[in-house]
């Protein structure tokens, strides 16, 4: 598995430039007997049709973030270094090996290799598949090969970006009492944001941790002008027990005491949370048999897209999530082998 992961790393696939890598993946899948292979754009789906009672979807994104001096694979003992080693060429290697070798699974299997996950959601290859051919990604359970250290990370938190605009009145800085400083108005609002009690709901045994953070501020006219406008961008991560509307209402309630006439709040973008699927019989059985650790996914992943389709989904991949997108991205042989064995169990028991 380490050698196959190294081979995938040495086939570059930065976002929007996945086509050559996808060509190679498609050719490898078409060489496997018994797989029905479909390509949509730079996304490839391979499916068995064995008439099994259940279908499991194994999905992973083919793109990486830009290189950071780590574009080539490097193996030292049982550790592989390189771009995508964690996120997520290692997960793709496990998927590809299973597609090549899994001749008699006890479930039907769908392998989904999709483009453009590391960029804005509007460009998502999985989103493209769901829009054009949702039938290709349907199943009873989906496993995303996102880096989890070969443990189950259940569901995912939703994410919301909001822009808050506060108004003031311009004046000369020598006579500030003649105006109203919009930037100064941020102080109590930011204090309120920073003071929001951390909400940590436990769902299906998984503890989620909500967060509200100010991530950008824009304002100012000139060094001698009291500013009449300022905007702050907030990022809110919300647990799966809240809808997008409930999450927005929560943020608005935090901000309301600090808003005046003329101020505005705009939801710039939002992606829903996904509930943990740990009670699904296929996943629950796997966790019990293998003694797997189960924890919450605090970030957002494409399990939410599957959940929106009515497909329970979880994250499970060999990579270390804390190393994703870093120059020190790496994966070790033990994690690869452990993840591979877990997925073999899922597909054959």
Q: What are the residue numbers of the active site? A: 63, 117
φ, ψ (nearest 5 deg) of residue 295: -140, 170
Q: Do β-strands 43-47 and 36-40 pair in parallel, antiparallel, or remain unpaired? A: antiparallel
Distance CA 105, CA 178 (A): 76
Q: What 3-state class would DSSP assign to 292?
A: coil
Contacts of 111 (CB under 8 A, 6+ apart): 29, 35, 45, 46, 47, 58, 59, 95, 96, 98, 99
Q: Which of 146, 140, 2, 156 is nearest to 77 (CA)?
A: 2
Q: Are 136 and 143 in contact (CB under 8 A)?
A: no
CA dihedral 302, 60, 345, 294 (to 10 degrees): -40
């Amino acid at each position: 598995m380490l050698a196959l992961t190294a081979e995938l790393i040495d086939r570059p696939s930065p976002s929007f430039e996945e086509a050559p890598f996808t060509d190679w993946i498609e050719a490898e899948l078409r060489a496997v007997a018994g797989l029905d292979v479909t390509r949509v754009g730079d996304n490839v789906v391979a499916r068995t049709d064995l008439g099994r009672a259940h279908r499991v979807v194994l999905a992973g994104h083919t793109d990486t973030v830009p290189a950071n001096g780590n574009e080539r694979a490097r193996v030292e003992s049982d550790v592989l270094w390189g771009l995508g080693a964690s996120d997520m060429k290692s997960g793709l290697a496990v998927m590809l090996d299973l597609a090549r070798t899994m001749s008699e699974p006890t479930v039907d299997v769908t392998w989904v290799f999709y483009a453009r996950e590391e960029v804005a959601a509007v460009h998502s290859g999985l989103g493209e598949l769901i829009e054009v051919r949702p039938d290709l990604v349907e199943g009873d359970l989906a496993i995303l090969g996102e880096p989890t250290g070969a443990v189950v990370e259940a569901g995912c938190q939703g994410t919301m970006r909001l822009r808050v605009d506060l108004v003031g009145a311009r004046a000369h800085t020598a006579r500030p009492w003649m105006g109203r400083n919009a930037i100064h108005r941020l102080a109590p609002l930011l204090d309120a944001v920073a003071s929001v009690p951390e909400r940590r709901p436990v769902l299906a045994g998984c503890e989620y941790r909500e967060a509200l953070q100010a991530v950008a501020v824009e304002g100012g006219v000139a060094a001698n002008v009291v500013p009449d406008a300022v905007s702050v961008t907030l990022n809110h991560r919300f647990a799966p027990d809240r809808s997008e509307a409930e999450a927005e209402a929560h943020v608005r309630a935090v901000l309301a005491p600090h808003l005046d006439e003329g101020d505005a709040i705009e939801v710039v973008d939002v992606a829903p949370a996904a509930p943990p699927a740990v009670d699904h019989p296929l996943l629950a059985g796997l966790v019990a048999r293998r003694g797997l650790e189960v924890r919450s996914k605090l970030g957002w992943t494409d399990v939410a897209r599957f959940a929106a389709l009515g497909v329970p989904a979880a994250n499970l991949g060999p990579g270390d999530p804390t190393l994703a997108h870093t120059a020190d991205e790496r994966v070790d042989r033990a994690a690869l082998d452990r993840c591979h064995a877990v997925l073999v169990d899922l597909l054959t028991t």
